Copies of this chain bind each other. A is one copy, B any other.
Amino acid sequence: MKTIGFIGLGVMGAPMAENLVKAGFDVVGYTRRASGVDRLAAAGGRRATSVAEATRGADVVITMLPDTPEVSEVVLGDGGVLAHSAPGLLLIDMSTISPQTAQRVAAAAAERGVPALDAPVSGGEQGAVEGVLSIMVGGPADAFAAAKPVLDALGTTIVHVGPAGSGQLVKAANQLVVAGTIELVAEAIVLLEATGVDASAGLQVLAGGLAGSTVLNRKAAGMLERRFAPGFRVDLHHKDLGIMLAAARDAGAVVPLGALVAQLMAAVRAQGDGGLDHTALLRGVERLSGRTDV
């Protein structure tokens, strides 16, 4: 039975670690808040009291952290994973961070004889709980093959998309398309409502044709009823769009709709809705159109 060090037991990490326990892995968890480790222990995992302890003796270390600086510190820092790794460890960072940092992590890990994968996910808290995440994986093909049995416990769509950093780039592209699609649906809703059309009936037609999307299927009803409980928070999507724009900039890829929807997401956040679901882009369109008291 493989031993997995799991670092970062937050909203996403906690249920993921528990799914690994359920799948029969020996999971040693560490996170800053002690309660997070308690929860894992209650579910059958083991406690670590430091990154070092979660790393030593592990066959695989998974990190699931909020943002780029945390990954840099936890993996590359003085008391970090690589400082305590033995050759042969497999490192899987499942956080959403900048592709550049993912490449830096991979290079530093390689120097220590540690193959590394960037493997960000989509599917949200619900996907994490149900073990049905989409996982986009960048890194060496053999490391992907080695990681596959572990990732199978976490998700259903698990795709190797290229060399180190590629997972993050696909995640960036994903966040671009998701934000843009939500905004398009929001603009369509406001257009329909502003003209006295039955928006619900209208969206039903759209969903059945080339305008159809998972956003329409899963999110439109909530949007029409103005239910904005997260889900995936505006604050996080805003962070991710920053990563996307920086990656596009580095690559010389011009993304006009991406840049504009990033401003609209920033607006919703600046307007105080950072804690709402990202479908609150609809509130932004309503404000632009003078159709709201908020």
Residues of A within 8 A of B (CB): 99, 122-124, 134-136, 138, 156-157, 159-163, 165-166, 169-170, 172-174, 176-178, 180-181, 183-185, 187-188, 190-192, 194-198, 201-202, 204-206, 208-215, 218-219, 242, 244-245, 247-264, 266-267, 269-272, 285, 287-291
Chain B residues whose CB sits within 8 angstroms of the CB of A197 once the complex forms: 138, 161-162, 166, 169-170
CB < 8 Å neighbour of A174 from B163, B187, B205, B257: B205
Interface of A is mostly: helix
Among the interface residues A177, A250, A270, A291, which one has the most CB atoms of the partner chain B within 10 A? A177
Q: A173-B202, A197-B169, A266-B254 are in contact. Are A191 and B248 (CB under 8 A)?
A: yes
CA distance A279 to B245 in the complex (A): 23
* Nearest chain B residue, comparing its CB with the CB of A285: B254
Write the nearest CB–CB distance from A171 to chain B, whole angstroms.
Answer: 9
Chain B residues whose CB sits within 8 angstroms of the CB of A208 once the complex forms: 134, 156-157
Q: A215-B210, A252-B194, A254-B270 are in contact. Are A177 and B184 (CB under 8 A)?
A: yes
Q: Is the CB of B177 within 8 A of A188?
A: yes
Q: Is the CB of B191 within 8 A of A252?
A: no
CA distance A289 to B159 in the complex (A): 27
Q: Is the CB of A169 within 8 A of B183?
A: no
A-B contact pairs, 7 of them (CB 8 A): A159-B202, A160-B198, A180-B183, A187-B256, A194-B253, A195-B251, A254-B263
Other 4 A-B pairs with CB < 8 A, given A124-B210, A136-B202, A187-B257: A172-B191, A174-B206, A184-B184, A191-B248
Among the interface residues A159, A196, A266, which one has the most CB atoms of the partner chain B within 10 A? A266
